[in-house]
Amino acid sequence: MGLTSKKVLLLAVLVAVALFVLTIWLWPRLSKKNWRAVLGRIGLLVATQLSLFATIGLYANNSFGFYASWADLFGQEQEPGVVTEYQTGPGGTKLRMLGTQRVSVQNGARPAAGGRIDKVLVRGEHSQIASPAYVYLPPQYFQKKYAHRKFPAALVLTGYPGTAEALYKKLHFPQTQHELLKQHKMRPTVLVMMRPTVAPPRDTECMDIPNGPQTETFFTKDLRADISEHYRIGREAKSWGVIGDSTGGYCALKMTMRHPEAYSSAVALSGAYKAPRDATTGDLFGGNRQLERENNLLWRQRNLPAPPVNLLVTSSKQGEGNYQQTLRFIEQTKSPSRVSSIILDSGGHNFNTWRREIPAALEWLGNNLKA
């Protein structure tokens, strides 16, 4: 049974309830003062507490999509499943198709009405990184009226550790765009949904780490080239944007500010403005202080020329830790960069808050991109 299976969660609940009942039932018998009774009480309490923590952890993981599988949880590599390869012209493409699925919207079984989600494996020529992605193709992609048109694309990133599946199962990016398209509030845009953790289990913060994973190269060169080669997507920066939450938000801002030739617009939902340094990241900069400063976005604004890009940042006056830094980021933004914001009165660093921000953010992003 998979980590996110409802059967696993139900089994954990049943075990926790059974242990609680067993503890109540056996407690009188274990009230003696001999060592066996003491060990029995300790064992029951520990087992009950562990089962409760496991149940809560499984429920939180199912709700917020931190880990997709047991191997993901324990940091093990996973081999991709059975691969079906497709060719799109004489030379084919570097992408491998892993499967397709419908979008959970009305008439979602028909791509021309609901769009389609492709699962692909992106293999980076320059970065030597291979990572799966979920590509949402809007309904217009399959309609005759748009048969010879190219589309803009947005890279959509989770936080760390996060799962790409959470972007359409929990944050509902495709469903939100589908509704916005019905209301004629944005241009049809291809969404490339991924986690920023392309070299698990390490949190690379979308960095080209000295003597380590070249994540920045993967996202700014390899991914764009491979996706544009396979799908009808514009190749220029004006056709590409990036939106992410938490770590993904920091990545969105950083990659757009550092690589305006790759991305023209960025949205950071509760994003940070510099990379953390902890057990999951290790030393991202190889002791290079200048490289560290250049990846600090507030320092970058103060000391380096501003790129010609569009930036949208979000925060909350209450409940969000990045509020003051977000105000400073807005204040420090210089022309030709353009900045916008979504500031809520209250909200936390969670899916519920981001779901409130995504419709306006996606509308803003979609209307800033051009194929």
- 263 and 114, same domain (yes or no): yes
CA 320 to chain centre: 19
| Same-domain pairing of 23 and 160 | no
231 within some domain: yes
Same domain? For 171 and 310 the reply is: yes
Residue 91 located in a structural domain: no
- State whether 253 and 346 are in the same domain: yes
Return the residue matching tokens 């609680």.
20
Written as one string, the DSSP assignment of 178-190 is HHHHHTT-S---E
User: Has residue 1 been placed in a domain?
Assistant: no
CA angle 340, 300, 348 (to 5 degrees): 50
Number of domains in the chain: 2
Within this chain, do residues 171 and 254 fall inside the same structural domain, yes or no? yes
- Specify whether the CB–CB gap between 367 and 186 falls below 8 A: yes
145 assigned to some structural domain: yes
Q: What is the pLDDT along the chain (371 residues), one digit of tens a residue?
A: 666 677 877 888 888 888 888 888 888 877 777 888 888 888 888 888 888 888 888 777 666 555 555 655 665 544 433 333 334 444 445 788 899 999 999 888 999 999 999 999 999 999 999 999 999 999 999 999 999 999 999 999 999 988 999 999 999 999 999 999 999 999 999 999 999 988 888 899 999 999 999 999 999 999 999 999 999 999 999 999 999 999 999 999 999 999 999 999 999 999 999 999 888 898 999 899 999 999 999 999 999 999 999 999 999 999 999 999 999 999 999 999 999 999 999 998 998 999 999 999 999 999 999 98
Q: What are phi and psi of 239, to 5 degrees?
A: -90, -5
Reported in sequence order, the residue ranges of the chain that DSSP labels E, i.e. its strands, are: 96-101, 116-123, 130-137, 153-157, 190-194, 240-245, 265-269, 310-318, 338-346
Determine, yes or no, domain membership for 293. yes
- pLDDT for residue 2: 65
CA atoms of 215 and 200, how far apart (whole Å): 11
Q: What pTM was computed for the model?
A: 0.78
Same domain, 36 and 113: no
Instruction: Please report whether residue 80 resides in a domain.
Output: no
- Give how far Cα 223 sits from Cα of 189, 219, 293, 324, Å: 16, 5, 26, 33
Give residue 240's pLDDT: 98
What single string gives the DSSP state of each residue in 68-97?
Answer: SSHHHHTT--------B----STT--S-EE
Same domain, 175 and 305: yes
116 and 59 within one domain = no
Categorise residue 298: left if φ over 0, alpha if ψ from -120 to 50, beta otherwise: alpha
Mark whether 246 and 344 lie in a shared domain.
yes
Do both 164 and 293 map to the same domain? yes
Identify whether residues 220 and 273 lie together within a single domain: yes
H or E element at residue 293: helix 289-294
Closest CA to 193 of 145, 147, 242, 238: 242
Q: Name the residue range of residue 15's domain.
A: 6-74
DSSP label of 319: T
Dist CA 219 CA 121 (whole Å):
13
Take residue 9 and report the two structure tokens written for it: 């969660």
Task: Out of 44, 74, 104, pick the residue that ends a domain.
Answer: 74
Residue owning tokens 């001999």: 34
